[in-house]
Amino acid sequence: YRKDHHKAVKQSNPELSNNEISVILGRQWNYEEDEVRMHYHMMAMEIKRQVEKLHPDYRY
């Protein structure tokens, strides 16, 4: 979500620091529709599966 929206917020508010942009994006995330949030959760789950497949012995 951050990767997809950071640039637009930065362009609209070039004076903001990354911390301030993160606060704005966090607020936006909290108000997103359930469908949008589910889309990003599904993307994250798919990326996690791919990483686990590529690196099955990796532990954190």
pLDDT in tens, the chain (60 residues): 999 999 999 999 999 999 999 999 999 999 999 999 999 999 999 999 999 999 999 887
The reported pTM is 0.79
Q: What pLDDT, on the 0 to 100 scale, is given for residue 9? A: 98
Q: What is the CATH number of the domain that holds 23?
A: 1.10.30
Which structure tokens are listed for 43? 């993307």
Residue-number span of the structural domain to which 9 is assigned: 2-54
| Residue 44 lies inside a defined structural domain of this protein | yes
Residue 60 lies in a domain: no
33 located within any domain: yes
What pLDDT score was predicted for residue 60? 75
Give the count of domains, the chain: 1
In a domain, 59, yes or no: no
Q: Are 27 and 55 in contact (CB under 8 A)?
A: no
- Could you tell me if residue 13 is inside a domain? yes
